[in-house]
Structures are given as structure tokens and as C-alpha cells.
Amino acid sequence: VQAVAIASSTDTHAELILRAAAARKAIFCEKPVDLDIGRAREVQAAVTKARVPCLIGFQRRYDPTFAAVKRRLDAGEIGETEVLCITSRDPAPPPIAYIERSGGIFKDQLIHDFDVCRWILGDEAQTVYAAASCLVDAAISDAGDADTTAVTIRTRKGRLCQINTSRRAAYGYDQRFEVLGSGGMLEAGNHRPTEVSWHRAGAISVDPPEAFFLERYRAAYAEEMIHFAAVLRGETQPRTSIEDGVRALEIAEAATRSSKEGRVVAL
Amino acid sequence: VQAVAIASSTDTHAELILRAAAARKAIFCEKPVDLDIGRAREVQAAVTKARVPCLIGFQRRYDPTFAAVKRRLDAGEIGETEVLCITSRDPAPPPIAYIERSGGIFKDQLIHDFDVCRWILGDEAQTVYAAASCLVDAAISDAGDADTTAVTIRTRKGRLCQINTSRRAAYGYDQRFEVLGSGGMLEAGNHRPTEVSWHRAGAISVDPPEAFFLERYRAAYAEEMIHFAAVLRGETQPRTSIEDGVRALEIAEAATRSSKEGRVVAL
Amino acid sequence: VQAVAIASSTDTHAELILRAAAARKAIFCEKPVDLDIGRAREVQAAVTKARVPCLIGFQRRYDPTFAAVKRRLDAGEIGETEVLCITSRDPAPPPIAYIERSGGIFKDQLIHDFDVCRWILGDEAQTVYAAASCLVDAAISDAGDADTTAVTIRTRKGRLCQINTSRRAAYGYDQRFEVLGSGGMLEAGNHRPTEVSWHRAGAISVDPPEAFFLERYRAAYAEEMIHFAAVLRGETQPRTSIEDGVRALEIAEAATRSSKEGRVVAL
Amino acid sequence: VQAVAIASSTDTHAELILRAAAARKAIFCEKPVDLDIGRAREVQAAVTKARVPCLIGFQRRYDPTFAAVKRRLDAGEIGETEVLCITSRDPAPPPIAYIERSGGIFKDQLIHDFDVCRWILGDEAQTVYAAASCLVDAAISDAGDADTTAVTIRTRKGRLCQINTSRRAAYGYDQRFEVLGSGGMLEAGNHRPTEVSWHRAGAISVDPPEAFFLERYRAAYAEEMIHFAAVLRGETQPRTSIEDGVRALEIAEAATRSSKEGRVVAL
């Protein structure tokens, strides 16, 4: 056994990473590292000490469309990066039982967006402001969580990121972002199941986005594993490291506090 | 009176142009010059002899989108022009009484497309093949006409033009063309009333095209009159001359014959 | 004289409205009413007392695309309104001399977006958070202003609005918004000068948005005046009233404070 | 051995199918059955007599986008089918050596389009007219072939099909069609590698279509094999039968003759 892939429930991640690190195995683990930031840092320390590769499953970075935007940003196609707007909406909320153990919408759903923010802006969050409402289902509010959020991150260089999320988009899984730079804008759009358009009296219509993450990120999951295999062969370092996992969790923690206390939180 | 604008019924065009030319007035006349090609040539000769400007109302050449394609073709954006595909569909057929006196679908509806073909390809038709069916309304067939056509024009340089038309497009007035060249393609799309899109379960939809020619070619009609005013001021020559009117009619005549006799017709 | 149209510089608006109201004239005035909220309220009181119609020039409400979204929202096409995301970017910053007397980006540029927010969400702002950076031109910062902002408004009903603006979009005047509701999303896209697309090795490209507000809102300005004429004929009340002008200014004031003090501001 | 998959050069197809049929093996064979129509019919007779399933590799029918259009047509989404327009362009011509043995552009390239025509229109060709030019490379003309064609097929029911093809589209592999029906239009668009759009001064651009058939029809090839496996399990009949192979070849033969003789050919 050369490597361990951890795709079990979140509360088992930390323990399993620690054991794999102790056994000097390369690690792939789904996000998040842990819901508790202190615990996540402990795990990070152990992995660092063990000097094993540890790849956290932020699969969006491997999505062909998202990855192309990143490459083109790095190639300077729009000059200096200034603003990032992320739209991230699930088709429908998960069961309340799931929500109750999820760590809240920021650690569960937006952690992916926080990772995209750091990756695309190439800068660390300095302040976070998170407004959150419960507009989809009152039971989510009863469970102490929100279902609709509007987050603003200001980075150290003054770059701005806006994230809007919802647990429900009636038209499907909406996963887009756009980056404004000094020389233009790069936009990452949704994928669609087919390229059919239907023209009839009153409207021309096309397919809504792919149904949910298994469809939308099919290519991304494959690319992620191809990358992990390259890591195992020693050809490269993990592009989504345990440090990325901890950093995204820090933003999620700050966003949760911001939302609960109704104020801006500094990191 | 410096100029005469003729927008009366087709059977009055020839006579009115002749009288305006005799009176040395500048002329604007809606297409077609006449349904009879011999008569149209007589009128052309009279206008030429009178040396008065005569602008035929092929308004499509003044449409901002179509005109932009022409400019960009001339600027060499796609290299040598090779193929033109025109889609030209009315939202609904006119009354049978109109059809009976229209001169047939080729002289009435497609004459605009034949003009676009000559203008965009910058070459004259050598052969025409027109397939026609009556699929929309049997009364059109009873009136001796067709409502659905597929025309192929081969020019002297071997360029190819395909035109597909229908008297009925349930989704609106469909007016598009695309030009393939050695270096790429330029496409002229439909205009829409608004830029709204509606995302819901099952479909994302946008507005269908503008309803009919008055909406679709509103800007074109204005540009045409602005151009006519420039002609009257002596600043320029008519961009859509009586020769253009006669040439388009010649193709319409050939297409009518082709369709009736089921064979390719040379010009 | 039945009506007065005020399109002079901002510092003259209040005085001219007061004099027109005193003379019992119907009033059209470009936004903003005044840069000072107290002064704007005085003007509002005088207009109310004089019982003259007063239409404030929030022309975006008259834009065919924006107005269609509003109509379709009201028709229930996406159920309950939840989230509004506005993208509002100028092609290039105005001269520094203009910026110095503009009242700042929130009162000058975003006041339109604040009006759109109130209009589309059909609810009043409860809290405002505005992050602002100077990323385009350091001279703007020297003038005490910002050029890039990210604003979050939470309404009384908990609806969320995110606005992102910039004084510079290299690709043109970017004026879009999208509304998420319980049953779907309505999106208002940019207008383009033509519907040409160019296909060549490496890319398919279409026109960027209209250059700036005179082109983008040409139809809106015309509709606005048609509406004002209907108001003058006594057929309807102003759709963009002086109250709307004052309310948008209140949000702009709060956003300015939020941005300067780095905290959430309640209205 | 239960089945034989034939993907060798065209001149071996007939012989290999005959031997597989004689051995009572199920057969998958790439198109065309043979370049000679008489020989193709012999092979069809042998397969029929042997009662073995034989699936011809018209992979386009398995493409998710094309297949969705067919399903939606059959579901009546646009009423009665009237007109089909196919755009089918390769990115670049094959080597001359390939062209010389290809059987000509109609049997080599358009045979797929002829199959799509029969499949989508659900009707047999009655007349074919094919105009062809050599506009891409004079060496193709020297080899006795054309590189640019415009084909019109009229079916027994009077439905019309226009096909435009080229051996070269500088922007990539262009594979689209649209179907006009009594109640609207269904359009099958190109697939793109990513959903990135790039906004900059002068243009907004997106990816051109997939590079060539291996990329464009990746999903189609997989679906085709899944279908073949279902045929082998006895669950279904081949959706693209040897009869389909022969019928498409008949149209290709007629088109070749039409093009060479400059006349309409009846089937």
C-alpha cells in the first residue's frame, strides 16, 4: 500500500489522516480536513512532520473550465487581477440531518468557494464579511444554519471577492465565477448536458446546467485522480495541499463568526 | 420637389419610376422594380438615360449587423469568401390574396436573399437550383406557389450559396446568414427585443427574434433613408441601385423556372 | 411652460427643483437630488407640499431589458425574490476633477445600483456593508475616493443584494444583474451594437457591450421621456419619484460610511 | 468469439463483413460498407441471410446532443418536420493520398450527413442535387475531387434538406444541424472544450468547437459501443443497421453523379 484515499464522513478525516501519516502513506482526503480549526492545524503539523504528500479534494481546481481560467490569468490575459465574483448554488438543500452535522453552510458548502477565492486571486483574505439568511426552508434556520449567503472578502492587496450562494437553484447546479482584471474579464460558465436549443413561440431555450456535482465535476474528479497519481509517481507536488485545506477552513470560521455577529471579521 | 419615394404596390413601381425619371427626380423605390424582367430592364434603361439616382429598397444591406459583416469581410477578416448560408423565414404566411398577386415566393420573399447573396459573395450567379415544397398551407399550393424552399446558387468563381426559406417560423422572424472563408467564418445573428434570460427547472430561455420586418429592420430603414439623403446631397451613389434590383430579379426568375421544371438553370 | 427638465450639474439640482416647485411646474431632474441627504429631504418636502409631479432620472428602470425583468418578476416567473447580484462597471474612470466634486463613487456611480436594488427587490435596505479599493488609478485614492467596490445590502425581509462595481472595464460598459428566486433566476444581460460573431482559429468572438451609457441607455432615455410626457398628461404618476431619489441617497450615504469605517452600517 | 469489430481500411470492409457473417458473428463495422453500391448490397444480402446483427458505425446518431434532438423531435416538440440544414466542416483536408482512395467527398465525408438526413427527417431521398467546388486546395481538384459542397435533398414527402460542407474550417470541426418544424426549430450546436469567455477591448470570445472527430464524438463513440454491447446481449436491434449503410451510400452515389453532371438526380 503506497497511498490512502479518504472519502469517509468528515468526522473521520482527521483521525484517518493522522494514521496514514504515521504509516508514511501518501494521502488523498476529501474536504474539509476537520470542522475544528485547531484540530485541522494539528493534522497539518503531523502531515508536514511525516513529509508525506497530502492532497485535499478541492476538485474544482481540476475542472477544465476553471483550470483554463487560472492558466489564462497566469498568462496575463487580463492584466492585474482585481475582482472575483463567485456564484455557487446547489440545486436543492440536503436533508436536515445532514445540515445538523455539516458544520454550517460556510464550512460545508462555501469552503470550496473560499478555496477558489484564494486560488484565483492568488492572495490571502484580510477581512471577511458574511451576510446570511434563511429563505429556502425554515427548518434550516431551526437547525441553526442559513441557506442563502452573500460573502465579501478583501485580500491583503485590496482585491475584492464576492460570493453568493444558495442551497437551492430551481434551474440546477450553478457553478460560475468571473474575474475582472485591469485588461478585461475572464468568465467561467456552467457546463450543460447537451448543446440543443429549442426555438418556439415566445422563447428560445437551452439546457440548464448539469444537475449536481457528480455530473458537473465528472471531468474534474478524473483530473484530480490523474494528478494524485502523478504525485504518487513523485513527478509533482499536490496542487491542493493540506495547507490549502486549513486556509479555506480559517476563512469559513471567520465567515461563520461574521454572519453570527453581524460584523466584519479580520483574519 | 427634389426626390420621389415609391412605396406603393408592386404593379405601380415601373410606371412611377418612369414618370419620376422623366421628371428628373431622384428616386427611392421599394423592391421589386417589377415582376416582369423585360419591363424591369426597360425601367433600368430609362433611369440610366435620365441620369437620376435611383435607390432600390433592399433595406437589409443597411442593417447594422449585416453591414458590419460586409465591412469585416471586405477588411479580410476571414480571407477569401467561399460559402454563404442564408436562413430567411417569415413568422407566418401572408393572406392568399396577397400570395396570388405576389409573383411567387422567389420574386416576393427571396428577392431580398438573392440581393444579399450578390452583395456578400461579391460575385454573379452562374447557376441556380431551387427546390420548393408546400408544407405550411395547401391553399398556397392551390394558388400555384410554394411556402418552403431550398435554393443553391453557384457563382462564376465557384462560390456556393445556400438559402433556406419558409413562410412560417413559429418562433418569429428568422433572418440570419453565415459566411465561410478561407480564414474563418462570420455570422450575422438575429436581433432580440430584450437581453433577458430566464432560468428554471428544465430550461434556460431567451427572447425569440424580433417579431417581423418592421421591428427587425427598424434601424436598417432609418439608415437607408439617411443614405438616400446623402445621395440627394450628392455625397455618394446609391448603394442599392436599380441594376441591383434587376440582377436580383433575374435570379428570382431563374429560381422560379428551376423550381417549376425541377432542373438546374444557368444565367 | 408646463414642466421643467433639470439636467445641469448636481450642485444646482436642489435649488432648481425648489424654484420649479414654487412655480408649480412639473419637474424632471437627473439624479442625484443633492449630495447632502438633509438638503435632499428638504427638497422632497417642498415638492410634496407643492403637489407637483417630480420625476428623478433613474433611467435604468426604463431600459427595455431591465423593465422586462421587473415585469416578469412581478408576474411571478421565479416565485419569491431572494438574491440580487448587480454588476455595474464603467468603461474608464472620469477625470480626477470630476471625481473630486462627485460626492464619491457611492453617491455618483452606485446610486443607480442602489435604486435598482430597491426597485427589483421591492424592499428597503436594513444594513449595508461596502468594501472599497483603489485598484485602477492611485490619483483616485489621492482624491479621497475608491474605484472598485463590493457592496452587500440586507433588506428588512432578509433578501440579499450584492453589487460589484469598477470605474474601469477594459471591454466596455458592463451593466447586468441577475435575480434568484424560489423558482428560478431572471438575468438582465448587456446590449451589443451588432449580432455578428467571428469564428477563427482559437476563438469565436462577439461584440463587447455598448460603449457607455449614452449608447446603452438610448432606448431607456427615450422611454423615460415618453413616461414623463404621460405624467404631464396626468395619465400616471412618476415611476421614479423624488422619494426614490432620497432613499437611494440614504443607501449611498450608509455605504460611504461603511467603506470609510470598515463596518456594517444599519439604516 | 461472439462478435467482430471492423475498423480497418474501407477496401477491407466488405470482405471482412462477409467472413464474419459466414461465421455467424455479430458485426460492428465502420462506415462505409463499401465504395461500390452493388458490392454493398451483396454484403447486405449476406448479412440478412446469416441473420447476424450488423451495426454500421454512424456514430453521430449516438452523440448526446444529436440524439437529444431526435428524441425531442419524436416527442413532437416542433410538430411536423419540414426542413433540415446541416453544417459539416472538417478543420483541414486530409492528405491527397487519402483523398485519392476515399471514393470522393460524398462517399467519404458526406455519407455521415446523408445518414443524419435520413435519420432526422424520417423519410427517404427522392431527388438529390449536389453543387461542388474546389476552393481549398487545387490538388484536390487535380485528384478529381471537390472540397466544398452544397447539397439539396428532397424527400418523398417533400421535406427539404440542405447540407453544406467544407474540407476546411479554420476555426475547427463544425458539426451542427437545425430542424424546422411546423411548431418551431430544434438546433444541435457544437461542443466546446471549456466554458470560458474572455472579455477585452473590442471582443468577447469563447472557445471554438472541439478540434476534430475524436474529441467531438468521444461520448458518441462510447455510447455506440454501449449500444453494441446491448445488441450482443440480445436486448435491442442495431440502431444503425447495414440497411442504413446502404441507403446512405445510395445518396452519396447520386450526389456524386449530380455533381459531375451538373443536374438533379432522382433516386
Q: What is the pLDDT of residues A100-129, one digit of tens each?
A: 999 999 999 999 999 999 999 999 999 999
Q: Nine-digit cell at A151?
A: 460573502
Task: Mark residue C123 as left, alpha or beta (left: phi above 0; alpha: psi -120 to 50; beta: remaining).
Answer: beta
Band the pLDDT of A234: cuts 50, 70, 90.
Answer: very high
**Phi and psi angles of residue A123, each rounded to the nearest 5 degrees, phi first:** -155, 160
Interface of B with A (CB under 8 A): 169-172, 198-208
Grid cell 432620497 in the structure block, residue: C246
Closest by CA position to A7, among listed A259, A228, A265, A246? A228
Nine-digit cell string for B191: 436581433
Residue D163, min C-alpha distance to chain B (Å): 9
Structure confidence by residue, pLDDT tens digits, C64-73? 999 999 999 9
For residue C66, give how far its alpha carbon lies from the nearest alpha carbon of chain D (Å). 22
Q: How far is CA C132 from CA A159, C148, C154, in A?
A: 9, 6, 18
Do A196 and D72 make contact, defined as CB atoms within 8 angstroms? yes
Contact at CB, D171 and C201, closer than 8 angstroms: yes
User: Which residue, C33, C35, C36, is CA-closest to C44?
Assistant: C33
Contacts 24+ apart (CB under 8 A), A118-121: A118/A244, A118/A247, A118/A248, A118/A251, A119/A58, A119/A61, A119/A70, A119/A244, A120/A69, A120/A70, A120/A73, A120/A81, A120/A84, A120/A177, A120/A179, A121/A81, A121/A84, A121/A155, A121/A159, A121/A161
Amino acid letter at C175? Q
The answer to whether B56 and B244 are in contact (CB under 8 A) is yes
Give the chain A residue nearest B205 (alpha carbons): A205
CB contact under 8 A, A208 and B201: yes
Give the mean pLDDT of chain A.
97
Of B186, B246, B191, the residue nearest B56 (C-alpha): B246
Mean pLDDT of chain D: 97
Low-confidence ranges of chain C (pLDDT < 50): none
Hey, CA dihedral for C125, C126, C131, C134, is it positive or negative?
positive
| D3-6, strands of its sheet edge to edge | D3-6, D26-29, D54-56
CB contact under 8 A, C187 and B197: yes
- Residue B50 is predicted with a pLDDT of 97
Beta strands A54-56 and A81-89: pairing type? unpaired
B115 — pLDDT class (breaks 50, 70, 90): very high
Across the interface, which of B69, B77, B195 has its CB nearest the CB of C189? B195
Q: How far apart are CA A59 and CA A228, in angstroms?
A: 11
Does the beta-carbon distance from C194 to B65 stay under 8 Å? yes
Contacts of B158 (CB under 8 A, 6+ apart): D133, D134, D135
Interchain contact, B182 vs D168, CB within 8 Å: yes
Q: How many A-D residue pairs are in contact by the CB < 8 A criterion?
A: 76
From the CA of A61, how many Å to the nearest CA of chain D? 14
Asked whether the beta carbons of A13 and A242 are under 8 A apart, the reply is no
Cα R_g (chain D), whole angstroms:
19
State the Cα–Cα distance between residues B243 and B40, nearest whole angstrom.
9
CB contact under 8 A, D206 and C208: no
CA distance B71 to C57: 37
Q: Tell which of A78, A83, A167, A267 to mutate to test the C interface (max C CBs under 10 Å).
A: A83
Give the chain B residue nearest C209 (alpha carbons).
B195
CA of A58 vs chain C CAs: smallest distance (Å): 25
Chain B residues close to A171, C-beta within 8 Å: 199-204
Average pLDDT over residues B95-101: 96
Count CA atoms within 13 Å of residue B185 on its CB side.
28
Tell me if A45 sits within 8 A of A55, measured CB to CB: no
Collapsing DSSP to helix, strand or coil, D214 comes out as helix
Chains in contact with C, counting 3 or more C-beta pairs less than 8 Å apart as contact: A, B, D
Q: Could you tell me if C194 and C207 are in contact, meaning their C-beta atoms sit under 8 angstroms apart?
A: yes
- Strand-strand pairing, C148-155 and C160-166: antiparallel
**D171 and C204 in contact by Cβ < 8 A?**
yes
Neighbours of A145 (CB within 10 A): 25
Closest chain C residue to the Cα of A259, Cα to Cα:
C264
Whole-number Å distance between alpha carbons of B249 and C69: 45
Total residue count of chain B as it appears in this document: 267
Instruction: Output the nine-digit C-alpha cell for D135.
Output: 476552393
Q: pLDDT band for position B129 (50/70/90)? A: very high
For C132-198, give the DSSP string. EE--S-HHHHHTT--SEEEEEEEETT--EEEEEEES--TT--EEEEEEEETTEEEEE----S--EEE
Residue range A190-231, pLDDT digits in tens = 999 999 999 999 999 999 999 999 999 999 999 999 999 999
Q: Which triple of cell numbers denotes residue D150? A: 452544397
Closest CA of chain A from C175, distance in Å: 14
CB contact under 8 A, D197 and A190: no
- Residue of chain C whose alpha carbon sits nearest to that of A134: C158
- Cβ <8 Å between C183 and B200: yes
Sign of CA dihedral B230, B236, B240, B244: positive
Residue B234, C-beta contacts closer than 8 angstroms, at least 6 positions apart? none
| Distance between D205 CA and the closest CA of chain C, angstroms | 4
Pairwise CB contact (< 8 Å): C204 & D205: yes
Are the Cβ atoms of A180 and C166 closer than 8 angstroms?
yes
**Is B205 in Cβ contact with A205 (below 8 Å)?**
yes
Looking at the complex, report in whole angstroms how far the Cα of residue C114 sits from the nearest Cα belonging to chain B. Answer: 20
8 Å CB contact of D83 and B150 = yes
Measuring CA to CA, how many Å separate D102 from each of A129, C128, D5, D140, D172? 65, 69, 21, 12, 22
Query: Which residue of chain A has the CA closest to B210?
Result: A202
Please report residues of B whose CB lies closer than 8 A to that of A172.
199, 201
Name every residue in D having a CB less than 8 A away from some CB of A.
64-65, 68-69, 72, 77-78, 183-191, 193-201
Nearest residue, CB atoms, A208 vs list B170, B172, B202: B202
- Of the residues B71, B77, B187, B196, the best mutation for testing chain C's interface (the one with the most C CB atoms within 10 Å of its CB) is B196
The structure's pTM equals 0.96
Cell numbers 443584494: residue: C161
Residue of chain B with shortest Cα separation from C187: B197
Q: Do A203 and B205 touch (CB under 8 A)?
A: yes
Q: What is the nearest CA distance from D65 to chain A, expressed in angstroms?
A: 5
The low-confidence residues of chain D, meaning pLDDT below 70, are none
User: With an 8 Å Cβ cutoff, are D204 and C171 in contact?
Assistant: yes
